[in-house]
Amino acid sequence: MPAAIAGPLIAGLRNDVVGGDDTARRPFPQIQPMDYAAAVRRALANLETGHVESAWTAALASSQGDATPVRLPMQEGIILERRA
């Protein structure tokens, strides 16, 4: 991910987001909020087991037909981008 994109995304994590009402919970009562650390743990566990519904890499691959334009091996917990 380019630094120009990653930087602002990371900077946005500095601000706590606190909802003051239940507007979002009313239509989705089955969804329970979780903190950042729990969300990251769940996401990484899902990646390890292959239980990911979609990812940005799927959009890239589908736009290239049968070609494999990019490989994303994981090494020491870091996803590496390898282009053909």
pLDDT in tens, 1-43: 788 888 888 888 887 777 677 887 888 889 888 888 999 999 8
Q: Give the residue with greater pLDDT, 68 vs 70.
A: 70
Is the pLDDT at 74 greater than 70? The verdict is yes
23 falls within a domain: no
The tokens for 51 are 């239980």
69 falls within a domain: yes
Mean per-residue pLDDT for 51-79? 70
38 falls within a domain: no
Minimal CA–CA distance to 78: which of 47, 39, 32, 38? 47
1 falls within a domain: no
Q: Residue 40's pLDDT is what?
A: 92
Q: Residue 16's pLDDT is what?
A: 72
Domain count, the chain: 1
